[in-house]
Structure 1
């Protein structure tokens, strides 16, 4: 079993981001920040976190995207999403997922917490830790990968499960 913490769009919040990461650090195999942390690359809050650059992250501290081989057959692709116009459509992002052979795609930018599966690819936007859209809760998520399923569980910033967003996918 592999467990991944996914956060995005914390927009300068240090304490809140650190609280979420510290809450799960010892139970996850990977930690992903999908951009707009607005922190420096050496920020202590991001220690051990795979971070990609968002449109509000200035400088060159973070890569535009990241690919992590999670299991033998699951490649994770992480991006902020602004280069793929995710506020309007997911089509360019789905093309990119196909291009790189990703089975799991993590992205942010829209601040809308969502997950969906298309063409055997699971897409996860954890929402925003600071400025959520379409919901009042500040959210992040945990993705748990088993050999037969992928569970995407959304949480409020306080650590409470958001059941109506959480989903199990069969592999």
Structure 2
């Protein structure tokens, strides 16, 4: 299983189109965690499953997506409705209602991944306006049996090795 995750592109069509071109059809899924600021029919969102962020006024996106990819159930939300800038507790309760194994969210523009009580939480950062790092980021998630590898990349598709993590779930 190989899944690409972006968030908080804030109108940056070029970044999204470049990601689509770079990865072609080699992915099982592509998720956008909101604040695209694009219309749902925009070519830059082609192939992405997109949730609504607090800055998305141009499209009719769902507030959350629950999607099974391989053996994992993904819960995708922007995060503003769950106060993710303060705590992951609220979003974890909602994700548990869906038996999610992986939670994807954005909103804070801060890249990160952590395993909490068997559930993996991932924020891909922002492909347009990063915080706490200079690089604009997105994420790739790969499952290899019981191991999930989370890799983060900059806008030039160079891996940020210091952010790479492996989790056993």
| Cα deviation 1:114-167 (Å, max 9, x = unaligned) | 000011111110000111011110000100012121000000011010111110
Distance, in Å, in 1 between the alignment partners of 2:55 and 2:117 is 31
Cα deviation for residue 25 of structure 1 reads 2.9
Q: For the aligned residues, what is the CA RMSD?
A: 1.0
| Structure 2 match to 1:156 | 154
Distance, in Å, in 1 between the alignment partners of 2:124 and 2:12 is 16
2:5 paired with 1:22: no
| Structure 1 match to 2:47 | 48
Distance, in Å, in 2 between the alignment partners of 1:107 and 1:25 is 23
Distance, in Å, in 2 between the alignment partners of 1:21 and 1:157 is 12
2:89 paired with 1:112: no
Cα deviation for residue 60 of structure 1 reads 4.9
| Structure 1 match to 2:83 | 85
Cα deviation for residue 21 of structure 1 reads 2.2
- Does the 8 A contact of 2:37 with 2:58 survive in 1? no
Distance, in Å, in 1 between the alignment partners of 2:164 and 2:102 is 16
* 1:101-140 alignment runs, 5 A limit: 101-140=99-138
Point out where structure 2 has 5 or more consecutive residues left out of the alignment: none
Which SS does the other structure have where 2:133 is aligned?
Answer: coil
| Structure 2 match to 1:69 | 68
Structure 1 runs (4+) deviating above 4 angstroms are none
- TM-score normalised by L of structure 2: 0.96
Distance, in Å, in 2 between the alignment partners of 1:59 and 1:139 is 23
Distance, in Å, in 1 between the alignment partners of 2:146 and 2:97 is 24
Point out where structure 1 has 5 or more consecutive residues left out of the alignment: none
- TM-score normalised by L of structure 1: 0.95
Distance, in Å, in 2 between the alignment partners of 1:112 and 1:145 is 23
